[in-house]
Amino acid sequence: MVLENELASAATIRLQEVDREKMAGTSGREVNPHFRHLEGWLNVYLGPATAIFHCMHGKDHPAIPDENRNAIIPARSCEIDGRKYYLSIKGCGAYEDMFHGGELTPGLIAEACRDPSLLPRVNQLPTGAGFIMGESWMGESPYGAQGEQNARDELAFSTLASGASINGAFICPVIGIVSLSGTIEDAARKFYWFRQYPYPFYQEARLVPSRTRLYFESAQVLADPVAALATFGIDTAARMERFEKSFIKSGFALLSLFTRSVKIEADQARGIVYHDVWFDKDAIVAPDGVIHFADLEGLVWQGVPLSNASKVQQAEWNKLFYEFSYALVQIDGCRLDLDGKGATPGWDRQREALASIVQEALDGDPFVFTRYEGDQMVAVIEHPEYPSLPQARVPLFQGLHG
Over range 182-202, report the average pLDDT.
Answer: 96
pLDDT per position as a tens digit, 300-346 = 999 999 999 999 999 999 999 998 998 898 889 888 888 776 556 78
pLDDT for 343 equals: 56
pLDDT for 28 equals: 84
Distance CA 122, CA 358 (A): 55
Over range 261-269, report the average pLDDT.
Answer: 95
Distance CA 23, CA 69 (A): 21
Q: Of 210, 214, 194, whose CA–CA distance to 254 is shortest?
A: 214
Q: Of 141, 142, 144, 16, whose CA–CA distance to 68 is shortest?
A: 144
pLDDT beyond 90 at 22: no
Tell me the domain boundaries of the chain: 2-208, 225-397
- Residue 117 contacts by C-beta under 8 Å, 6 or more apart in sequence? none
pLDDT for 267 equals: 92
Is the full-model pTM beyond 0.75? yes
pLDDT beyond 90 at 4: no
